[in-house]
């Protein structure tokens, strides 16, 4: 049984996304702990990359701030080791295939296992090319998390059948970012997923308010929020942790 399943055991899961090293790794550690203290069920940690194709301007800027602060993959691995001294909720990395390739896929994924990373999200890895990483993820017990988008259409059932950990359902076309409303017919996509797998479904991209989170949780198993949290970090910098905690609590309460 995947450890990620634990995040969905106690009702609807709230999943915050945090870019590692924005503005520095000490702040990242404080923000993660504050998020967990306030009800986060699973933490999605972004490994910064110079060309994050799935991200809108808010998270792109966070990536640049982190990279300018000389954050490296090895430093992020050390951060997770330190977090795992007391953080017990599931944690996953979100990054790009190039980051894993350039580090050495087997080395990267084996370290994920060693430090307690439960899953890996690679938004630029098409379903048809996942064999590049899947055997290594299985070897080291790391879930390779599938994304399903509104454009997946006749591939939804196929992707769902093979899914592990949880399914990341992209709410709308385009990149990450705060949206005033989400118009996609997500319920019909979730219905197809549910007909093909018991793997939990969490919806991300564009969710920022408690009302949106509540609505998304009504049709899925949880909500993922990134840009709204990164905006708090951009505003408060090293003092952001309590503000992020407050925001996480409001979102978790809405779920």
Domain-by-domain residue ranges, the chain?
3-254
d(C-alpha 120, C-alpha 28), whole Å: 19
pLDDT score at 159:
95
Whether this model's pTM surpasses 0.85: yes
pLDDT score at 178:
46
Task: Compute the Cα dihedral for 118, 124, 130, 135 and give only its sign.
Answer: negative
pLDDT score at 172:
67
Cis omega (within 30 of 0) for bond into 116: no
pLDDT digits (tens, 9 = 90+) for 90-119: 999 999 999 999 999 999 999 999 999 999
pLDDT score at 63:
79
pLDDT score at 179:
41
Mean pLDDT, 10 residues at a time, the chain of 255 residues? 87 95 96 98 92 69 83 97 98 94 97 98 92 96 94 89 95 52 75 95 89 90 92 95 97 92
pLDDT score at 173:
60
Q: How many Cα atoms are found within 13 Å in the side-chain-facing hemisphere of 32? A: 30
CATH topology of domain 3-254: TIM Barrel (3.20.20)
């Amino acid at each position: 049984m995947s450890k990620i399943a634990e995040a969905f055991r106690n009702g609807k899961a709230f999943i915050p996304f945090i870019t590692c090293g924005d503005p520095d790794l000490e702040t990242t550690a404080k923000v993660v702990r504050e998020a967990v203290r306030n009800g986060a069920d699973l933490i999605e940690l972004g490994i910064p990359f110079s060309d994050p194709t799935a991200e809108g301007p808010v998270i792109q800027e966070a990536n640049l701030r982190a990279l300018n602060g000389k954050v490296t993959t090895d430093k992020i691995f050390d951060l997770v080791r330190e977090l795992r001294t007391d953080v017990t909720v599931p944690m996953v990395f979100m990054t790009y295939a190039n980051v894993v390739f350039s580090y050495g896929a087997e080395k990267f994924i084996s370290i994920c296992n060693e430090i307690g990373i439960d899953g890996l999200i690679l938004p630029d890895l098409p379903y048809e090319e996942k064999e590049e990483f899947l055997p290594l993820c299985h070897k080291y017990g790391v879930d390779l998390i599938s994304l399903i988008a509104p454009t997946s259409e006749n591939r939804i059932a196929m992707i769902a059948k093979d899914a592990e950990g949880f399914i990341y359902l992209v709410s709308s076309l385009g990149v990450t970012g705060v949206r005033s409303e989400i118009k996609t017919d997500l319920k019909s996509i979730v219905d197809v997923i549910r007909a093909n797998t018991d793997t939990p479904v969490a919806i991300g991209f564009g969710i920022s308010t408690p009302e949106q989170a509540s609505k998304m949780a009504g049709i899925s198993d949880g909500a993922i929020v990134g840009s709204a949290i990164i905006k708090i970090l951009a505003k408060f910098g090293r003092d952001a942790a309590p503000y992020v905690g407050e925001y996480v609590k409001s979102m978790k309460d809405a779920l």
